[in-house]
Structure 1
Amino acid sequence: MRRTLCIAICAMGLFAICSTSWAGTPKWFKNAVKTSNHQLLYMAEQLKEVQNKAYFPRTLKADGSYAMGKAQDWTSGFYPGSLWLAYEMTGDENLAKEARKYTNRLEEIQYYTRNHDVGFMMYCSYGHALRLKPEQKDKEILVNTSNSLCQRFNPEVGLIRSWDFGKWTYPVIIDNMMNLELLFWAYEQTGNSKFRDVAVAHADKTLRNHFRENMSSYHVVSYSVPDGKVESKGTFQGYSDSSAWARGQSWGLYGYTMCYRFTKNLVYLEAARKIAHFIMENRPSEKDYIPYWDYNAPDIPDAPRDASAAAITASALLELGGYVDDHKLGDSYIKYAENILKQLSSSDYLAKKNENKGFILKHSVGNYPGKSDIDVPLNYADYYYLEALNRYSGLKKFN
């Protein structure tokens, strides 16, 4: 088992605080961290002028103004999470102050049961808060959130229900793999096997039904109730039911890598490896690591890129590289992630200071078929970019 990465993972599954000196770090990395730090604080200052009860910046509208989300929006945890991650790398207390302010605005979500993405919303915010600057209530809030998420689990179907809208009887999306991290954490913290049992059941059945032979993933699989049989496989945000939606592939890669972290189940590790190979073998070109929004988009090479999918992939590969016994293979994952980070940190994707309204990355895609958030900055792209930078720093032992 490789340990170069694993030993740097702390109890929350993320990385310990890095020194702010960054001695010996490459120029591109230093610029990425400094730019990110500046952009997040710049955004915090800009948001003081936004008169809106929806507190959380999600993206930019066509007119260049902020598109804000309420606490109940699935993306609400990413801005406070980004602030925490930037604080972790720089030690800038201004970031921590803003992070705590936006994190506390999510407290009510601990009892929210109408969204399967409470893992994104709360673990990406309160999880980092608990790890970096804990307050007495943080752990209880996360455990309460875990109980709320479990209420969306139907034991007859064997899965956590994703959406409460649409034509599907019981829809489950590949994105839902990401919310299992909260449940695994809750099991480790409380010893209550319910949390682990729900997470494992969801991961196992998703692995059986969401993936094609080449380990590309369907976006939405719907099940009948109460027998839990598959009634349809398709997409909502991808190009077609048979295509490989780029961010969906990265959710799957990250999800099964994380599941292996908590369970050490080799089935999950093998799944993550195969998903990684699909992504790596289907990149745009030999030296281009940022996927198009869908691997089967009909207008490639003119299709929009998705920086968010690339950032999630980079973060996942940095972790996966520490888990495989084959050092050469593990190094290939880490090198691929490094190449993603270098490309995202270039002027093609990294915003200049005071531009992009404070968002860090450019050129992501939210929902192309829905004509929503196309070629725009997205808060979750920034979050996973910062997480990947953080993991890269821990791996390289910058000091």
Structure 2
Amino acid sequence: MKQSLVLLGFISLVTFAFRSDKNETVFVKENFTYAGKQLKKMLTATEINKLAFPRTINKTGKLVTTNMYDWTPGFFPGSLWYAAEFSGDAALKNAAQQWTERLEPLKTFTQHHDLGFMMYCSYGNAYRLTGNEAYKNILVQSARSLSTRFNPVTGCIKSWNIFKSWHGSNTYNFPVIIDNMMNLELLFFASKVTGDTSFRHIAVTHAENTMKNQIRNDYSSYHVVCYDTITGKVAGRETAQGYADNSTWSRGQAWAIYGFTMVYRETKDPRFLKTAEGLADYFMNHKNLPADKIPYWDFNALQKGYTPGVRSHANNVNILYRDASAAAIVASALMELSTYSSSKGNQYRNFAVKMLHSLASPAYRAPLGNNGNFLLMQSVGSIPHNTEINVPLVYADYYFLEALQRYDLLMKGKKLFAVQKK
């Protein structure tokens, strides 16, 4: 009798797991179907100017675009690639190819650090899905361009050309922002396909110095670390888009989780895994994280002890906004991190699933044909700069789709990353 009950319990558990996976497969498919329809509406809206890349909406709900030299143009073609990959839709694939190839002039661009976002999210996905050698060559040249911003004295890639504190008179000539971790993937790629270890050296050195100087003891993160190019020492730690210099900007923490997870994938160095896990745990366990797992734009906004603190764009008071873009980035990162962490893998994956379900709920996912044809609502660009507040952002959509794609692969028992061929 006891054995029969155990067997029945096992069968029930397996049946529940099957139903759960089946429901989640439907969940992923429904979201990609919705995304395909919304992206096609976006394509129609961009027919007038095919060099204007979608970024957000304005106060009247109209589409706001940018040129290719902004940091965000790679996300729209990247989203098209993910949607085409899942659906097999030839029209989406054709559009992804066209929008990607419009970015080719950026392969020699050296004016800021965001070539990883600009080229790897677009051409990286294009090469992964097509194997087109021309795309690989463009990515390698892009990595060469990015490498020109590396300084061996600071051991980092320079982010912006100059940074002036928004709350004081400090001006820095070698700022490094936590976002810069995301651009290292392009360098690792170039090293693998060319055999040139200089790309990898730059990426690892940058990650090591970021880990040393930009991550606090509690695994929160500074947004901006500025270096003295003569001594290589830290000249200042500030924020550009967060609440305060000593606060934790939510999207910055998201970039850090994603970036160090990726660096561990490429190096298998346990230091980077420990850092990624610490950063993730800080995010997941923070007392100010809402129940739906979608963070406020800064974990410490409105708290005492975080100075100078910014004033909001309205009524001269601080207002708490959610940042769906930070949640989407973390959801994608945790899907990958769950495959590396021996003790917390299930915890990371389950947390990411909860985030995806929140993002796909009516509170954050836009009705079809609304929201400027972007997928997600309620993201924040920069409250200190009074820009892109509580609006859709193109990169939120990109990482939402990437997280869904990774979730789909994990449910199917597939690897997230194939071995890169030279």
| In structure 2, C-alpha distance between the alignment counterparts of 1:379 and 1:190, rounded to whole Å | 31
- Using the size of structure 2 for normalisation, the TM-score is 0.86
For 1:168, which of 163, 169, 172 is the aligned residue? 172
Q: Output the amino acid matched with 2:335.
A: L
Deviates more, 1:83-92 or 1:266-275: 83-92
Q: Are residues 368 and 286 of structure 1, via their aligned partners in 2, closer, same or farther at CA, if it must alter by over 3 Å?
A: closer
Q: Are residues 220 and 346 of structure 1, via their aligned partners in 2, closer, same or farther at CA, if it must alter by over 3 Å?
A: same
Q: Are residues 355 and 101 of structure 1, via their aligned partners in 2, closer, same or farther at CA, if it must alter by over 3 Å?
A: same
Q: Output the amino acid matched with 2:158.
A: R
Provide the residue aligned with 2:274 in structure 1: 270
For 1:188, which of 192, 205, 211 is the aligned residue? 192
1:351 counterpart SS class: coil
Provide the residue aligned with 2:296 in structure 1: 292
Provide the residue aligned with 1:201 in structure 2: 205
Q: Output the amino acid matched with 1:210.
A: Q
For 2:127, which of 125, 130, 137 is the aligned residue? 130
2:172 counterpart SS class: coil
Asked if 1 retains the 8 angstrom alpha-carbon contact of 2:25 and 2:408, the reply is no
1:71 counterpart SS class: coil
Instruction: Check if 1:324 corresponds to 2:341.
Output: yes
> Following superposition of structure 1 onto structure 2, how do residues 24-63 of structure 1 map, counting pairs within 5 Å?
25-48=24-47, 50-51=48-49, 54-63=51-60
| In structure 1, C-alpha distance between the alignment counterparts of 2:289 and 2:273, rounded to whole Å | 26
> Following superposition of structure 1 onto structure 2, how do residues 285-364 of structure 1 map, counting pairs within 5 Å?
287-298=291-302, 303-326=320-343, 329-364=344-379
> Following superposition of structure 1 onto structure 2, how do residues 91-240 of structure 1 map, counting pairs within 5 Å?
91-166=88-163, 167-240=171-244
Asked if 2 retains the 8 angstrom alpha-carbon contact of 1:35 and 1:352, the reply is no
Asked if 2 retains the 8 angstrom alpha-carbon contact of 1:187 and 1:196, the reply is yes
Instruction: Check if 1:385 corresponds to 2:400.
Output: yes
For 1:367, which of 378, 382, 390 is the aligned residue? 382
Provide the residue aligned with 1:5 in structure 2: none
| In structure 2, C-alpha distance between the alignment counterparts of 1:106 and 1:125, rounded to whole Å | 8
| In structure 2, C-alpha distance between the alignment counterparts of 1:75 and 1:91, rounded to whole Å | 25
Provide the residue aligned with 1:248 in structure 2: 252
Deviations 1:307-347 (A, max 9, x none): 00000000000100000122xx1100000000000000001
Question: Where does structure 1 lack aligned partners over 5 or more consecutive residues?
Answer: 1-21
1:287 counterpart SS class: coil
| In structure 2, C-alpha distance between the alignment counterparts of 1:370 and 1:378, rounded to whole Å | 16
| In structure 2, C-alpha distance between the alignment counterparts of 1:337 and 1:220, rounded to whole Å | 27
Residue 23 of structure 1 deviates from its aligned partner by: 6.3
| In structure 1, C-alpha distance between the alignment counterparts of 2:23 and 2:321, rounded to whole Å | 35
Residue 34 of structure 1 deviates from its aligned partner by: 1.2
| In structure 1, C-alpha distance between the alignment counterparts of 2:173 and 2:268, rounded to whole Å | 33
| In structure 1, C-alpha distance between the alignment counterparts of 2:319 and 2:241, rounded to whole Å | 18
Q: Output the amino acid matched with 1:361.
A: L
Provide the residue aligned with 2:313 in structure 1: none
Asked if 2 retains the 8 angstrom alpha-carbon contact of 1:24 and 1:398, the reply is no
| In structure 2, C-alpha distance between the alignment counterparts of 1:397 and 1:99, rounded to whole Å | 25
Deviates more, 1:383-392 or 1:157-166: 157-166
| In structure 1, C-alpha distance between the alignment counterparts of 2:149 and 2:174, rounded to whole Å | 11
Asked if 1 retains the 8 angstrom alpha-carbon contact of 2:127 and 2:136, the reply is yes
Q: Are residues 40 and 170 of structure 1, via their aligned partners in 2, closer, same or farther at CA, if it must alter by over 3 Å?
A: same
2:76 counterpart SS class: helix
| In structure 2, C-alpha distance between the alignment counterparts of 1:301 and 1:238, rounded to whole Å | 12
Residue 26 of structure 1 deviates from its aligned partner by: 4.6
| In structure 2, C-alpha distance between the alignment counterparts of 1:82 and 1:186, rounded to whole Å | 22
Residue 165 of structure 1 deviates from its aligned partner by: 2.5
CA RMSD of aligned residues (A): 1.8
Asked if 2 retains the 8 angstrom alpha-carbon contact of 1:28 and 1:345, the reply is no
Provide the residue aligned with 1:16 in structure 2: none
Deviations 1:339-386 (A, max 9, x none): 000000001111111111210000000111101100000000000000
Question: Where does structure 2 lack aligned partners over 5 or more consecutive residues?
Answer: 1-20, 164-170, 304-316, 415-422
Provide the residue aligned with 2:314 in structure 1: none
Work out which of the two has the higher radius of gyration on C-alpha atoms and give 1 or 2.
2
> Following superposition of structure 1 onto structure 2, how do residues 1-20 of structure 1 map, counting pairs within 5 Å?
none
Residue 27 of structure 1 deviates from its aligned partner by: 4.3
Q: Are residues 227 and 102 of structure 1, via their aligned partners in 2, closer, same or farther at CA, if it must alter by over 3 Å?
A: same
Deviates more, 1:76-85 or 1:87-96: 87-96
Residue 302 of structure 1 deviates from its aligned partner by: 5.4
Residue 133 of structure 1 deviates from its aligned partner by: 2.3
| In structure 1, C-alpha distance between the alignment counterparts of 2:318 and 2:110, rounded to whole Å | 41
Deviations 1:6-65 (A, max 9, x none): xxxxxxxxxxxxxxxx965454333211111111111001111x44x7520000111222
Answer 1 or 2: higher relative contact order, Cα 8 Å, separation at least 6. Answer: 1
Instruction: Check if 1:75 corresponds to 2:86.
Output: no
